[in-house]
Every structure is written in structure tokens, then in C-alpha cells.
């Protein structure tokens, strides 16, 4: 048994699974409105105009805390979540976990340390803890201090008691009975040391790759631009490296990615582009460029912001074995036979980070 040193109340929030599901569907509906920047759609969304506008203002001001969090990217994340929180998506996912129907005993206090590299990246963990019936004690990223708390306030409107079950802190987590922590490889070592005595999920740096076989259409290669550039390439599901056949013409890739050329006008992205370009020139590195992306042949997986690594291959079977040997570093693979082009930033609710089933972990706590 896990000790209970938290001092937090252990009475479960009196919400049935059906009530939680309905609340998530309603949250998805309003997130779709925020995603497209719509004006208050009326009381049918479940919020009054002031409540709706408060979250919309948080979306507009997200860049104040994180210069990478442009309004367009935050709304994109809102829209993606809005598509996921529908009855058609939620029901099959939740049906995989019959234990969700049962009363949660014992109730545990689960700490969640959220990342802030891309908008709403920690929302999945918070929703999983909430669905499991455990208490959540959440430390938001300093890069995104308000968005997820604002969404939980909205969820509390649809499912009263949520605010009691999910609390936020800007300080240390303090006593918890289990933890889900996301960070860099360096912070992961700290997490393992600090929370090593607890049931835990600790996530580290990962990247995503794309594999081309040369038969891709222009439209598919253009869709790859979403996987490379969305959120400025900062997410673990962003493609940082592309594997191409020996005879693949890289001009095809440059042509397909050109619609993203305006990304260079973002100050932080442009600064990274200029810095890496200058560094590579000083070091005599061979690379290609098109004014907004630096492309370099490299065996490494992670590439700096504003760059894309590529590697040529002869045999697809050997390549698959090579990628499989690096599976601890790869979040997802984009290709004609894996994650579809343009969909890397649209994971399903069951596409768990690092391949660890978060909800199963929570339901198995005892």
C-alpha cells in the first residue's frame, strides 16, 4: 500500500463516468469555438459571455509567458483537442478501461509536473487523472501558467466538483502519492531522484521522424510541413529528421515546404535560424537552405530549431531495424504506413506519450 502523507481530502468527487464523459464532450464543443476564434456562441456552449471571453483572453495573452505560444498555435491546439473531445472519440477510448465505471478506492493524490514547450501539452495528463477519480495536484509550466487552469475552471462549470479534485500550485508539489512528470533528460534525472520512492511516470526528451519512399504526392509532402513546422518544431511529435531514398531529390521537399516560408518572420524562430546558420558557416558544415529552413545530412535524430536533418537509406527493412533500435528516443514515425502526413500533432486519446498508458497507470494505483 502507498502511504497517504498528503493531508488532502480523500473523498471521491461524486461524479459518474457518464457525467464526466458529458462534461468532456461539452468542453470539446467550446474548445472548438476557441480554436477558430469564434465570438461567444451563446448560452448553448455552457458558459456565459464573460466566462467565455476570459478563456479567449488567456489564449490571446499566452505569448506573454512564452514567446513561442502564438495565438495561432494556441488556437490550433484548442481546435485539435476540440476534435478529440467528442462522443465518437471518447466512448471507444473509455470503453477500453472498465475500471473507470467503478468507485475509486483508495483515492490517491497524484502530482503532475507539466511541460510547456507546446500549447496544452499537459492537458492529457490532467484529464486522465480527473477521469481516474484520483486527486490531482498540478504544477503548471511557467511557460503556460494559465491555460490549463482556465480549462479546468470551465470543466468545473460542466462537472461541479472538478475544482475540488484538480488543484494547481506554482510552488513545489509537496507530498503526493504518485507522480507524472515531463521534462528534459536533465530534469528527468532530478525527477527520478526526488520521486524515486513513488509510483511514477517520468518522461524524457523524444523526437519524431519521417520516412519517405519517393512515391509521396506533392500534397502529402506539403502536409509534412505541419509535422515539421507546427509549434515551431518544439514538440516531441514534431519531425526533426527525414529519411529519404538514395535517389530522392531534395528539391521536391523544398518545394513542398515553401508555404511555411513566413515562419522566418517570427522573431525567436528567425534568431535561431540566423544563429545556427552562422555557426554552421563558421564550422564549415555543408548544408542546404531556402531562407527559412536549414537542411543538413546528419545521423543524429534531434535537430536544432529552424533546421531539419535528413539521412539517405538503401533498404527499408534495414532502416526499420535502425529506427527500432532508437525507439527510446522516437515519439512517432510519420510515413505512408505509420502516422499519416500532417497528423503528427493530432494524437488520439490513446496515443500515450512515450508509449506508457497513463490511464492504466492511474487505475492500477493501490
Q: Which residues pair with 310 in a beta bridge?
A: 242, 297
Burial class (CB in 10 A: 0-12, 13-18, 19+), 98: exposed
Q: Which residues pair with 111 in a beta bridge?
A: 137, 179
Query: What is the fold of 17-205?
Result: Aldehyde Dehydrogenase; Chain A, domain 1 (3.40.605)
Average confidence (pLDDT) over 172-177:
92
Q: Looking at 64-78, 179-193, 302-316, which range is the least confident one?
A: 179-193
Among 115, 41, 36, CA closest to 81 = 36
Dihedral of CA 336/228/121/188: which sign?
positive
pLDDT of residue 10: 45
pLDDT of residue 105: 81
Dihedral of CA 270/275/277/278: which sign?
positive
pLDDT of residue 321: 96
- What is d(CA 205, CA 328) in angstroms, rounded to the nearest whole number? 9
- What is d(CA 43, CA 271) in angstroms, rounded to the nearest whole number? 44
pLDDT of residue 106: 86
Average confidence (pLDDT) over 142-169:
97
- Residue ranges per domain, the chain? 17-205, 207-334
Among 88, 20, 156, 151, CA closest to 348 = 88
DSSP strand pairing (207-211 vs 239-245): parallel
Please state the CATH superfamily assignment of the domain spanning residues 207-334 in this structure. Aldehyde Dehydrogenase; Chain A, domain 2 (3.40.309.10)
Cα-based distances in Å from 336 to 5, 57, 159, 200, 213: 50, 39, 41, 35, 8
The pLDDT tens digits of the residues spanning 206-246 come to: 999 999 999 999 999 999 999 999 999 999 999 999 999 99
Dihedral of CA 47/48/49/55: which sign?
negative
pLDDT of residue 4: 43
The pLDDT tens digits of the residues spanning 51-82 come to: 999 999 999 999 999 999 999 999 999 999 99
Q: What is the mean pLDDT of the chain?
A: 94
Q: Which cell is 290 given?
A: 531556402
Residue 39 has pLDDT above 90, yes or no: yes
Q: DSSP characters for 284-341?
A: T---EE-SS-EEEE-S-S---TTEEEEEEES-HHHHHHHHHHTTTTEEEEESSSSBPT
**For residues 204-215, b (16+ Cβ closer than 10 Å) or e, as one string?**
bebbbbbbbeee
Residue 158 has pLDDT above 50, yes or no: yes
Average confidence (pLDDT) over 135-153:
96
pLDDT of residue 110: 98
DSSP secondary structure letter of residue 247:
T
The pLDDT tens digits of the residues spanning 257-294 come to: 999 999 999 999 999 999 999 999 999 999 999 999 99
CA 241 to chain CA centroid, Å, is 18
Residue 7 has pLDDT above 70, yes or no: no
Rounded percentage of the chain residues whose pLDDT exceeds 90? 91
DSSP strand pairing (294-297 vs 288-289): antiparallel
- What is d(CA 347, CA 235) in angstroms, rounded to the nearest whole number? 12
Q: Which cell is 95 given?
A: 470503453
Amino acid at each position: 500500500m502507498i502511504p497517504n502523507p498528503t493531508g488532502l481530502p480523500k473523498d471521491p468527487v461524486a461524479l459518474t463516468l457518464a457525467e464526466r464523459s458529458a462534461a468532456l464532450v461539452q468542453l470539446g464543443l467550446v474548445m472548438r469555438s476557441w480554436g477558430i476564434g469564434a465570438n461567444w456562441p451563446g448560452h448553448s456552449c455552457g458558459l456565459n459571455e464573460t466566462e467565455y471571453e476570459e478563456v479567449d483572453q488567456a489564449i490571446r495573452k499566452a505569448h506573454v509567458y512564452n514567446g513561442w505560444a502564438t495565438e495561432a498555435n494556441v488556437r490550433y491546439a484548442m481546435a485539435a483537442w476540440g476534435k478529440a473531445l467528442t462522443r465518437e472519440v471518447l466512448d471507444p477510448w473509455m470503453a477500453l478501461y472498465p475500471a473507470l465505471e467503478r468507485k475509486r478506492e483508495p483515492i490517491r493524490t497524484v502530482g503532475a509536473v507539466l511541460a510547456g514547450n507546446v500549447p496544452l501539452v499537459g492537458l492529457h495528463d490532467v484529464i486522465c487523472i480527473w477521469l481516474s477519480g484520483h486527486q490531482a495536484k498540478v504544477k503548471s509550466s511557467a511557460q503556460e501558467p494559465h491555460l490549463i487552469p482556465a480549462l479546468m475552471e470551465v470543466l468545473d462549470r460542466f462537472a461541479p466538483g472538478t475544482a475540488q479534485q484538480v488543484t494547481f500550485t506554482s510552488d513545489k508539489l509537496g507530498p503526493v502519492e504518485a507522480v507524472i512528470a515531463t521534462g528534459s533528460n536533465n530534469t528527468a534525472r532530478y525527477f527520478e531522484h526526488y520521486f524515486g520512492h513513488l509510483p511514477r511516470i517520468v518522461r524524457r526528451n523524444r523526437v519524431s521522424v519521417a520516412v519517405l519512399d519517393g512515391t509521396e504526392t506533392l500534397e502529402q509532402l506539403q502536409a509534412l510541413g505541419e509535422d515539421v513546422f507546427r509549434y515551431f518544431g518544439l514538440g516531441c511529435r514534431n519531425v526533426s529528421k527525414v529519411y529519404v531514398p538514395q535517389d530522392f531529390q531534395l528539391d521536391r521537399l523544398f518545394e513542398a515546404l515553401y508555404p511555411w516560408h513566413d515562419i522566418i518572420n517570427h522573431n525567436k524562430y528567425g534568431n535561431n535560424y540566423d544563429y545556427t546558420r552562422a555557426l554552421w558557416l563558421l564550422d564549415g558544415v555543408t548544408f542546404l537552405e531556402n531562407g527559412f529552413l536549414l537542411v543538413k545530412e546528419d545521423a543524429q535524430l534531434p535537430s536544432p530549431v529552424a533546421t531539419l536533418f535528413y539521412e539517405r537509406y538503401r533498404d527499408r527493412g534495414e532502416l526499420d531495424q535502425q529506427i527500432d533500435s532508437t525507439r527510446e528516443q522516437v515519439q512517432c514515425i510519420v510515413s505512408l504506413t505509420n502516422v499519416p502526413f500532417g497528423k503528427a500533432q493530432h494524437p488520439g486519446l490513446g496515443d500515450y506519450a512515450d508509449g506508457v498508458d497513463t490511464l492504466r497507470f492511474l487505475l492500477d494505483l493501490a
